[in-house]
Amino acid sequence: MINRVLIRLKVIQIVYAYYKNSGKSLKAAEDEMFFSLSKAYDLYNYMLLIMPGITHYAADRISFLGMKVRPTESDMNPNMKFVENRFVKELEKNGQLVKFAEKSKLNWVDNSDLLRRLLDSIQDSEIYKEYMSAETSSFEEDRELWRKLYKAFVFDNEEIDSMLEEQSLYWNDDKSIVDTFVLKTIKRYGMGNDAVLLPEYKDEADRDFARRLLKNTIANAEEYRALMSESSKNWDMSRLAFMDVVIMQAALAEVMTFDDIPLSVTLNEYVEIAKHYSTAKSGSFVNGLLDNITKKLRQDGKIDK
């Protein structure tokens, strides 16, 4: 699940903190980076659990309505299709999620107000109404319901984002990336032996990418900043946004360390990070300066891509 987009962002965050909190060793920075990445995987597991959480709240609501002094016909004979969703039942049985919930003690029960508002929005939606009134029923339809609901009501939900930031500082910028992997998991999720989650890392190469990128970003800082200084003669380096410096430092580390990564991929990734995590003008500035630097690196024979 932890891909290189997330790794790049974490490296930049850790390097920024490394300079702001002087005295930290490279080993400590590396440990912090991998811990931060592991917390992103925790968030992936936690967000998968929101679907059983909403379902349990819906079941509790049905039980409560049935205990009214004068229950209606629909209170006594509710449509149980939503709370008996087969995809959610598969999630509840998933061994990895069960272990995660037991070990982390994280659950959605303590956020009953949030679950109530989410369920109200879901039950008012056409997605829900069409599902509940459909004459057909299958695991695939149950799964597709939650893909649509997650995308409509959980993805890019400011209330959820704010709540998660309060729970963990490590989750400040992770949810938008994690949400894409939750949706991918829903889309591919099967039954029985096919009910598997995404692994924490696709392979050891991604862990090695994270380790080498962080190490070279910090260890070769003077070289990278000299390249920036040479290519920004009309700019006072001391007046540049420090986040821009860190972003370009990481970008140059990737350009000069990983011959197998196309230059266009690296530049596009770091320009996007600058747009979202630095100043309003950072995207165009970082793009222009990195373009100048990489052209010179090619001319000097230091890179060949």
Tens digit of each residue's pLDDT (9 = 90 or more) over 230-273: 988 766 666 678 999 999 999 999 999 999 999 999 999 999 99
| pLDDT in the model for residue 236 | 61
d(CA 168, CA 157): 17
> What do you get for the CA distance between the two ends of the chain, in Å?
28
Q: What is the pLDDT of residue 186?
A: 98
Domain ranges of the chain: 4-194, 220-299
DSSP bridge partners of 2: 201
288, HSE (Cβ side, Cα atoms, 13 Å): 9
Predicted structure pTM score? 0.92
pLDDT of the residue at 22: 78
Q: What is the pLDDT of residue 66?
A: 66
The per-residue pLDDT for 157 is 95
For residues 90-118, average pLDDT:
95
Residue 302 belongs to what H/E stretch?
A: none
Please report the pLDDT score of residue 74 as a whole number: 74
Instruction: Please state, in angstroms and rounded to a whole number, the distance separating the CA atoms of residues 102 and 235.
Output: 54
What local confidence, expressed as pLDDT, does residue 130 receive?
A: 98
Q: What is the mean pLDDT of the chain?
A: 93
Residue 115: pLDDT band with limits 50, 70, 90 = very high
State mean pLDDT over 199-225. Answer: 97
Q: Give CA–CA dist 53/262, Å, rounded.
A: 42
Please give the pLDDT value at position 27: 95
Could you tell me if residue 182 is left (phi over 0), alpha (psi between -120 and 50 degrees) or otherwise beta? alpha
Q: Please report which confidence band the pLDDT of residue 24 belongs to, taking 50, 70 and 90 as the band edges.
A: confident
pLDDT of residue 233: 73
Task: State pLDDT tens for residues 30-86.
Answer: 999 999 999 999 999 999 999 999 999 999 999 887 676 677 777 677 889 999 999
Residue 234: per-residue pLDDT: 65
Residue 201 backbone dihedrals phi, psi, to 5 degrees: -125, 140
* Rounded percentage of the chain residues whose pLDDT exceeds 90: 84
What are the phi and psi torsion angles at 2 (to 5°)?
A: -75, 105
Percent of the chain beyond pLDDT 70? Answer: 97
Whether 153 contacts 183, CB under 8 Å = no
pLDDT tens for each residue of 116-166: 999 999 999 999 999 999 999 999 999 999 999 999 999 999 999 999 999
pLDDT of 161 reads: 94
Most confident of 103-112, 122-131, 169-178: 122-131
| Top CATH class, 220-299 | mainly alpha
